């Protein structure tokens, strides 16, 4: 695999605070290529030999705004077993339902735009149902749970100009930890 030329914006970049705009179909050839490049980048970032070769931090999701274009697109690459990946391409997402149960990532959430250690927990819904479109403009609905639900919520936040660090209580980073389940 060849590492795509993607520049991921740092959290200090004001572009990450913009609310992304709806995407119109059909997608442009650049949008299609960017989606492919984001998938390749995320896949490579999860393969140890590629991580070491290119000095990559592991990531499973990337929003279009993180590569400098505030449009409502994100991709998630989930390693389902060693070297086998499932890709999610999510365009113009809308959360249509969510569980009351809250979870948090035990080792803490991370972000390819946040290049530092962050203390604290991010409350997320354990399950969500999302209505979205694929690259061909076909509408679909998907119910996701646990770590994929967290990833979806994290990326949807990006589309709304929100970073995961915003969701951590500044005065009490582990607030209400006893009311959530660790995943």
Contact indicator for 159, 22 with CB cutoff of 8 Å: no
Locus of tokens 């970073």 = 163
Active site residues: 155
Backbone Cα Rg of the chain = 16
Beta-carbon count within 10 A of 156 CB: 21
Angstrom CA distances, 86 to 40, 78, 79, stand at 12, 5, 6
- Residue among 76, 34, 40, 69 nearest 56 (CA): 40
């Amino acid at each position: 695999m060849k590492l795509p030329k993607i520049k991921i914006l740092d959290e200090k970049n004001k572009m990450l605070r913009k609310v992304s705009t709806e995407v119109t179909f059909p997608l442009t050839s650049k949008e299609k290529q960017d989606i492919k490049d984001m998938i390749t980048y995320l896949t490579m970032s999860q393969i140890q030999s590629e991580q070491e070769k290119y000095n990559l931090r592991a990531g499973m999701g990337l929003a279009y705004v993180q590569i400098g274009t505030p449009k409502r697109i994100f991709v998630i690459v989930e390693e389902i077993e060693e070297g086998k990946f499932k890709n999610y391409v999510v365009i113009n997402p809308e959360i249509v339902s969510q569980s009351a149960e809250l979870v948090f990532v035990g080792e803490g959430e991370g972000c390819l735009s946040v290049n530092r250690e962050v203390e604290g927990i991010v409350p997320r819904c354990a399950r969500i149902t999302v209505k979205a479109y694929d690259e061909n403009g076909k509408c679909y609905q998907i119910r996701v749970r646990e770590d994929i639900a967290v990833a979806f919520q994290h990326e949807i936040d990006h589309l709304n100009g929100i970073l995961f660090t915003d969701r951590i209580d500044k005065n009490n980073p582990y607030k209400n930890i006893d009311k959530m389940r660790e995943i």
